[in-house]
Structure 1
Amino acid sequence: NAGDSRAVLSRRGTAVRLTDDHKPHLPAEKARVEAAGGRVDFQRCWRVIVEPREGRLGSGLAEPRRFVECEPDVRRVVPQPGDNLVVLGSDGLWDVLSDQEAVNCA
Protein backbone atom coordinates (compact mmCIF):
# COMPACT_ATOMS: atom_id res chain seq x y z
CA ASN A 1 0.00 0.00 0.00
CA ALA A 2 0.95 3.63 -0.16
CA GLY A 3 -0.44 6.65 1.67
CA ASP A 4 -3.88 6.29 3.14
CA SER A 5 -4.85 3.18 1.16
CA ARG A 6 -5.39 -0.05 3.04
CA ALA A 7 -5.95 -3.74 2.26
CA VAL A 8 -7.93 -5.93 4.66
CA LEU A 9 -8.38 -9.68 4.26
CA SER A 10 -11.47 -11.55 5.42
CA ARG A 11 -10.21 -14.77 7.01
CA ARG A 12 -13.20 -16.85 8.11
CA GLY A 13 -15.12 -13.60 8.50
CA THR A 14 -12.50 -11.93 10.70
CA ALA A 15 -10.72 -8.82 9.43
CA VAL A 16 -6.94 -9.17 9.05
CA ARG A 17 -5.13 -5.96 8.11
CA LEU A 18 -2.58 -6.63 5.39
CA THR A 19 -1.03 -3.16 5.21
CA ASP A 20 0.26 -0.39 7.44
CA ASP A 21 -1.15 3.10 7.01
CA HIS A 22 1.25 5.87 6.03
CA LYS A 23 -0.26 8.74 7.99
CA PRO A 24 1.80 11.49 9.63
CA HIS A 25 0.34 11.10 13.13
CA LEU A 26 1.37 7.44 13.40
CA PRO A 27 4.57 6.97 15.44
CA ALA A 28 6.79 5.47 12.72
CA GLU A 29 5.78 8.02 10.09
CA LYS A 30 6.05 10.93 12.54
CA ALA A 31 9.55 9.79 13.52
CA ARG A 32 10.57 9.58 9.84
CA VAL A 33 9.30 13.11 9.12
CA GLU A 34 10.98 14.55 12.22
CA ALA A 35 14.27 12.80 11.38
CA ALA A 36 14.15 14.55 7.98
CA GLY A 37 13.76 17.93 9.70
CA GLY A 38 9.99 18.40 9.45
CA ARG A 39 7.28 18.30 12.06
CA VAL A 40 3.78 16.93 12.34
CA ASP A 41 0.97 19.18 13.54
CA PHE A 42 -2.82 19.01 13.77
CA GLN A 43 -4.52 21.88 11.88
CA ARG A 44 -8.09 20.59 11.36
CA CYS A 45 -6.31 17.44 10.15
CA TRP A 46 -2.81 15.98 10.55
CA ARG A 47 -0.23 17.80 8.41
CA VAL A 48 3.47 17.62 7.71
CA ILE A 49 4.97 21.07 8.30
CA VAL A 50 8.09 22.03 6.36
CA GLU A 51 9.89 25.11 7.60
CA PRO A 52 12.13 26.90 5.07
CA ARG A 53 15.80 26.64 5.94
CA GLU A 54 17.40 29.77 7.28
CA GLY A 55 19.11 31.90 4.68
CA ARG A 56 17.07 30.46 1.81
CA LEU A 57 14.49 32.36 -0.18
CA GLY A 58 11.50 30.06 -0.57
CA SER A 59 11.69 26.33 -0.26
CA GLY A 60 11.06 25.21 -3.85
CA LEU A 61 9.80 21.74 -4.67
CA ALA A 62 12.93 19.84 -3.70
CA GLU A 63 12.59 20.71 -0.02
CA PRO A 64 9.12 19.22 0.69
CA ARG A 65 9.74 16.15 -1.50
CA ARG A 66 12.07 14.63 1.06
CA PHE A 67 9.13 14.46 3.49
CA VAL A 68 6.90 12.50 1.11
CA GLU A 69 7.66 8.84 0.55
CA CYS A 70 6.46 7.33 -2.72
CA GLU A 71 7.74 3.81 -2.06
CA PRO A 72 4.79 1.49 -1.36
CA ASP A 73 4.92 -1.27 1.22
CA VAL A 74 4.65 -4.62 -0.52
CA ARG A 75 3.76 -7.84 1.26
CA ARG A 76 3.12 -11.28 -0.20
CA VAL A 77 0.27 -13.22 1.38
CA VAL A 78 -0.34 -16.88 0.57
CA PRO A 79 -4.08 -17.61 0.57
CA GLN A 80 -5.30 -20.05 3.20
CA PRO A 81 -8.54 -22.01 3.48
CA GLY A 82 -11.16 -19.62 4.81
CA ASP A 83 -9.74 -16.51 3.10
CA ASN A 84 -12.86 -15.10 1.47
CA LEU A 85 -12.04 -11.68 0.06
CA VAL A 86 -9.82 -8.62 0.23
CA VAL A 87 -11.23 -5.14 0.77
CA LEU A 88 -9.12 -2.36 -0.79
CA GLY A 89 -9.90 1.26 -0.01
CA SER A 90 -8.55 4.69 0.77
CA ASP A 91 -9.33 7.07 3.63
CA GLY A 92 -12.81 7.73 2.23
CA LEU A 93 -13.71 4.22 3.36
CA TRP A 94 -11.44 3.77 6.39
CA ASP A 95 -12.35 7.11 7.97
CA VAL A 96 -15.93 5.85 8.41
CA LEU A 97 -15.63 2.06 8.72
CA SER A 98 -13.42 -0.13 10.86
CA ASP A 99 -11.63 -3.04 9.22
CA GLN A 100 -14.21 -5.46 10.63
CA GLU A 101 -17.17 -3.31 9.53
CA ALA A 102 -15.81 -3.23 5.97
CA VAL A 103 -15.43 -7.02 5.95
CA ASN A 104 -18.96 -7.42 7.35
CA CYS A 105 -20.39 -5.15 4.60
CA ALA A 106 -18.54 -6.99 1.84
Structure 2
Amino acid sequence: DPTTDSSLVRHYENKIPPPPAISVPVWALAVPGGSSSGQDPKEATSQITSMNIMTFATPVSVTPPKQSILSLYHGTRTKDLFFQQGQGVLQLLKPHHQQLIAPLGKRSAYEVGYSEPR
Protein backbone atom coordinates (compact mmCIF):
# COMPACT_ATOMS: atom_id res chain seq x y z
CA ASP A 1 0.00 0.00 0.00
CA PRO A 2 1.83 3.13 -1.17
CA THR A 3 1.68 5.87 1.47
CA THR A 4 4.40 8.34 0.47
CA ASP A 5 5.13 10.09 -2.79
CA SER A 6 8.37 8.17 -3.38
CA SER A 7 6.78 4.80 -2.67
CA LEU A 8 3.88 5.73 -4.96
CA VAL A 9 6.34 6.50 -7.76
CA ARG A 10 8.18 3.21 -7.19
CA HIS A 11 4.84 1.41 -7.15
CA TYR A 12 3.78 2.81 -10.53
CA GLU A 13 7.23 2.63 -12.16
CA ASN A 14 6.92 -1.13 -12.12
CA LYS A 15 3.30 -1.12 -13.33
CA ILE A 16 3.39 1.26 -16.30
CA PRO A 17 4.56 -0.40 -19.51
CA PRO A 18 7.01 1.42 -21.77
CA PRO A 19 5.51 3.46 -24.60
CA PRO A 20 4.91 1.55 -27.82
CA ALA A 21 7.50 1.69 -30.55
CA ILE A 22 6.70 4.30 -33.16
CA SER A 23 7.29 3.99 -36.86
CA VAL A 24 8.89 7.27 -37.92
CA PRO A 25 11.88 8.15 -40.08
CA VAL A 26 15.23 8.21 -38.28
CA TRP A 27 17.75 10.86 -39.27
CA ALA A 28 21.43 11.56 -38.64
CA LEU A 29 22.68 15.14 -38.42
CA ALA A 30 26.41 15.59 -39.05
CA VAL A 31 27.94 18.94 -38.08
CA PRO A 32 31.51 20.10 -38.76
CA GLY A 33 33.33 20.69 -35.51
CA GLY A 34 36.71 22.26 -36.28
CA SER A 35 40.18 20.77 -36.33
CA SER A 36 41.38 17.96 -34.13
CA SER A 37 44.11 18.58 -31.59
CA GLY A 38 45.93 15.27 -31.95
CA GLN A 39 49.67 14.93 -31.45
CA ASP A 40 50.24 13.70 -35.00
CA PRO A 41 50.70 16.75 -37.29
CA LYS A 42 48.65 15.01 -39.98
CA GLU A 43 45.74 14.71 -37.52
CA ALA A 44 45.99 18.36 -36.50
CA THR A 45 44.44 19.39 -39.82
CA SER A 46 41.79 16.71 -39.98
CA GLN A 47 38.17 17.75 -39.68
CA ILE A 48 36.16 16.49 -36.71
CA THR A 49 32.46 15.83 -37.26
CA SER A 50 29.84 15.51 -34.57
CA MET A 51 26.80 13.38 -35.35
CA ASN A 52 23.39 13.13 -33.71
CA ILE A 53 20.62 10.59 -34.25
CA MET A 54 17.15 12.14 -34.31
CA THR A 55 13.56 11.19 -35.00
CA PHE A 56 12.14 14.70 -35.13
CA ALA A 57 13.09 16.40 -38.40
CA THR A 58 10.50 18.03 -40.63
CA PRO A 59 11.16 19.79 -43.96
CA VAL A 60 9.66 23.28 -44.06
CA SER A 61 10.79 24.48 -47.51
CA VAL A 62 10.66 23.04 -50.99
CA THR A 63 12.95 25.49 -52.76
CA PRO A 64 16.64 26.15 -52.09
CA PRO A 65 17.92 26.73 -49.56
CA LYS A 66 16.27 23.62 -48.16
CA GLN A 67 15.28 24.14 -44.54
CA SER A 68 14.03 21.77 -41.86
CA ILE A 69 12.89 21.97 -38.27
CA LEU A 70 15.09 19.79 -36.07
CA SER A 71 14.81 18.64 -32.49
CA LEU A 72 18.24 18.46 -30.83
CA TYR A 73 18.99 17.51 -27.24
CA HIS A 74 20.30 20.32 -25.00
CA GLY A 75 23.82 19.88 -23.71
CA THR A 76 25.12 17.90 -26.68
CA ARG A 77 28.18 18.75 -28.73
CA THR A 78 26.22 18.39 -31.97
CA LYS A 79 23.63 20.98 -30.90
CA ASP A 80 26.28 23.43 -29.73
CA LEU A 81 28.32 23.04 -32.93
CA PHE A 82 25.20 23.31 -35.10
CA PHE A 83 24.36 26.68 -33.54
CA GLN A 84 28.00 27.84 -33.82
CA GLN A 85 28.53 26.67 -37.42
CA GLY A 86 25.02 27.29 -38.73
CA GLN A 87 25.24 24.28 -41.04
CA GLY A 88 25.05 20.53 -41.08
CA VAL A 89 24.17 17.56 -43.25
CA LEU A 90 20.87 15.81 -42.56
CA GLN A 91 20.70 12.21 -43.76
CA LEU A 92 17.67 9.95 -43.77
CA LEU A 93 18.78 6.60 -42.39
CA LYS A 94 17.71 3.30 -43.91
CA PRO A 95 17.09 -0.02 -42.14
CA HIS A 96 20.68 -1.19 -42.74
CA HIS A 97 21.89 1.82 -40.72
CA GLN A 98 20.27 0.38 -37.58
CA GLN A 99 23.70 -0.63 -36.27
CA LEU A 100 24.56 3.10 -35.93
CA ILE A 101 21.86 3.82 -33.36
CA ALA A 102 23.64 2.26 -30.37
CA PRO A 103 27.02 3.99 -30.84
CA LEU A 104 25.57 7.36 -31.91
CA GLY A 105 22.29 7.64 -30.05
CA LYS A 106 21.54 8.67 -26.44
CA ARG A 107 25.08 9.92 -25.78
CA SER A 108 27.01 13.16 -26.10
CA ALA A 109 30.65 13.79 -26.96
CA TYR A 110 30.71 15.86 -23.76
CA GLU A 111 30.36 12.67 -21.68
CA VAL A 112 33.47 11.29 -20.02
CA GLY A 113 34.61 8.17 -21.86
CA TYR A 114 32.33 8.83 -24.84
CA SER A 115 34.89 7.60 -27.38
CA GLU A 116 35.26 4.29 -25.56
CA PRO A 117 33.06 1.46 -26.87
CA ARG A 118 30.07 0.52 -24.72
| TM-score bracket relative to the smaller structure | under 0.3
Q: Which has the larger share of helix? A: 2
Q: Using structure 2 for the length normalisation, give the TM-score.
A: 0.25
Greater relative contact order structure (CA < 8 Å, 6+ sep): 1
Q: Using structure 1 for the length normalisation, give the TM-score.
A: 0.27
Highest Rg: 1 or 2? Answer: 2
